C-alpha cells in the first residue's frame, strides 16, 4: 500500500526480531507522519532495499550490532551511494561507544533505545530533511540520547547533514589511490598486527616518521582513525599490491 503524501518513510534494521517489533511500535507511536515501510534483520538485505528506488526510505534506523555486519559499516555503505537517505543509529548501550564510528560512516545521529516517541519523532524528521540530529534529552536521564551536531561543520567528529557527509565520505574514495608506496606499506604492516615501533623497525625509519605517514594517509583517505584508514584500504584493495610486492 502506498504511503500518503508527506509521510516520512522509515526502514528499521536490527538482528533481533523482537527488537524490530518494538522499534516498529516506537515509530508508530511517533504519529501518523511516520510509516515503517520495511524491516530487516540483515545488513546486506537492508543495503539492497535502501538503494532500490522502489523501496528506498527517507530514513534508515540502524542497530549497532547486526548478524552479518556492524551498524556503522552498513551506514557507510549506504552513505557512499546515497545523498538522500537519512541515517540514524540506535543502541541500548551508551551512545558515546558508537559515536565516532557513526560520524565516520556519514550518519546524521545516534540515539538510545529508551528514547521517547516525541524525541524519536524529532530525530526522524530532522534526518529525513537531511539535517543532523541535535541533542535530545530524555526525562529519565540527564544525559542526551543524541549527541550534538552541526549541519555546517566539516569536523569528522561532528554529525553532519546528508549533503555534507556524502561529500566527506566520498572524498576519501577519490583521494585514496594517491597514497604513496611508503604510506601503503605502513598501513599494510599495521593491518598485519604490528605496533608502531615494529613498523618503524621493519621500514627502517623513526617512530615519528611512521606517525607522519599514517597521518598523511588518514587525510588522503578521509579517515579519522587508523582502524578506519585500514578498513578503507582493505575495502578498496589498496594494500593488496603491497602484499604482492613483499612476496616477490
Grid cell in block for residue 204: 627502517
Q: Is the pLDDT of residue 169 over 70?
A: yes
Q: pTM surpassing 0.75? A: no
d(CA 194, CA 133): 38
Domain coordinates of the chain in residue numbers?
Answer: 8-171, 179-247
Please tell me the CATH code under which domain 8-171 is placed. 3.40.50.2300
d(CA 30, CA 100): 27
**136: part of which helix (H) or strand (E)?**
strand 136-138
Q: Is the pLDDT of residue 112 over 60?
A: yes
Top CATH class, 179-247: mainly alpha
What is the spatial order of strands in the sheet that 109-112 belongs to?
34-40, 8-13, 59-63, 86-91, 109-112
Q: For the residues 40-68, what does the mean pLDDT come to?
A: 95
Q: How does pLDDT run across 117-147, given as a tens digit for each residue?
A: 999 999 999 999 999 998 554 433 333 345 5
Question: What is the pLDDT of the chain when averaged over all its residues?
Answer: 84
Grid cell in block for residue 109: 545521529
Q: How would you classify the pairing of strands 136-138 and 109-112?
A: unpaired
Amino acid at each position: 500500500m502506498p504511503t500518503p503524501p508527506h509521510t516520512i518513510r522509515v526502514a528499521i534494521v536490527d538482528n533481533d526480531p523482537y527488537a524490530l517489533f518494538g522499534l516498529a511500535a516506537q515509530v508508530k507511536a511517533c504519529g501518523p507522519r511516520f510509516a515503517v515501510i520495511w524491516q530487516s534483520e540483515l545488513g546486506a538485505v537492508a543495503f539492497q532495499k535502501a538503494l532500490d528506488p522502489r523501496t528506498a526510505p527517507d530514513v534508515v534506523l540502524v542497530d549497532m550490532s547486526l548478524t552479518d555486519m556492524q551498524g556503522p559499516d552498513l551506514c557507510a555503505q549506504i552513505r557512499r551511494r546515497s545523498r538522500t537517505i537519512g541515517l540514524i543509529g540506535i543502541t541500548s548501550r551508551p551512545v558515546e561507544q558508537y559515536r565516532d564510528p557513526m560520524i565516520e560512516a556519514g550518519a546524521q545521529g545516534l540515539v538510545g533505545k529508551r528514547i521517547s516517541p516525541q524525541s524519536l519523532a524529532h530525530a526522524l524528521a530532522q534526518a529525513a530533511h537531511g539535517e543532523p540530529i541535535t541533542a535530545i534529552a530524555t526525562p529519565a536521564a540527564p544525559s542526551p540520547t543524541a549527541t550534538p551536531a552541526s549541519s555546517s561543520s566539516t569536523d569528522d567528529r561532528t554529525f553532519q547533514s546528508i549533503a555534507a557527509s556524502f561529500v566527506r565520505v566520498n572524498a576519501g574514495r577519490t583521494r585514496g589511490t594517491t597514497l604513496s608506496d611508503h604510506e601503503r606499506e605502513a598501513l599494510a604492516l599495521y593491518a598485519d598486527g604490528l605496533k608502531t615501533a615494529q613498523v618503524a623497525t621493519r621500514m627502517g625509519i623513526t617512530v615519528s616518521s611512521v606517525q607522519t605517514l599514517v597521518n598523511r594517509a588518514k587525510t588522503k583517505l578521509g579517515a579519522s582513525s587508523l582502524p578506519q584508514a585500514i578498513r578503507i584500504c582493505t575495502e578498496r584493495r589498496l594494500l593488496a599490491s603491497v602484499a604482492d610486492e613483499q612476496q616477490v
